[in-house]
Amino acid sequence: QLLAQPLAQPLAQPPAQPPEGELPSQPWNATLTISLRDLSELKALKKPPPPVRMLMEICCMLFDIPAEKHLNNNGGGKRFSYDYWEPARRYLLSDSFFLSKLRALSPEQVPSAQRSKIRRYFRDPEFTAERVSTCSKAALELYSWVQHLVEPTSQQSLSARAT
């Protein structure tokens, strides 16, 4: 009988219409085709490849999730490394509302300092769409979405300047 009951559908509801006279602020959000199954695929990775780690690091930055700090005692000096993978698995990929939060995020909500920090990742030769696609289809979907978020089209940037 549980299977016959409809699933909770917060994601299937149509987006709220903007007030009259305003353009919709998130037309690019239609590019987010990632599903809960895709997120489960990412979460199941025990040791994700570097492009997937970088992608989840960006997602942690977008949602203000701090990295875990690990002490490395290599070569006698104390050095710290920062790991975003476990916090991403725990707080993002395990969150049943993560997709809703992604869809609700708009380019205007990303501060310019954070946007420029994220753009540096996209300049890294290890972090390209081709490299991400060899790792996971789900990761590629998320990669494309984040890229659209931090690098809005010229139409969006023109409308942002006009306001």
CA atoms within 13 A on the CB side of 127: 21
More confident residue, 163 or 51: 51
pTM of the model: 0.73
pLDDT in tens, 26-47: 455 656 788 889 999 999 999 9
Task: Report whether pLDDT(20) > 60.
Answer: no
pLDDT in tens, 80-96: 888 999 999 999 999 99
Q: What is the pLDDT of residue 28?
A: 53
pLDDT in tens, 119-131: 999 999 999 999 9
Q: What is the spatial distance between Cα 88 and Cα 58, in angstroms, rounded to a whole number?
A: 10
| Mean pLDDT computed over 42-59 | 95
Q: What is the pLDDT of residue 70?
A: 84
Q: What is the pLDDT of residue 29?
A: 60
| Mean pLDDT computed over 112-140 | 94
Nearest to 114 by CA among 74, 71, 155, 59: 59
More confident residue, 28 or 97: 97
Q: What is the spatial distance between Cα 136 and Cα 49, in angstroms, rounded to a whole number?
A: 10
| Mean pLDDT computed over 129-146 | 93
Q: Give the list of residues 6+ apart from residue 67 with CB closer than 8 angstroms, or none.
A: 57, 60, 82, 83, 84, 87
Helix/strand/coil for 74? coil
Q: What is the pLDDT of residue 88?
A: 96
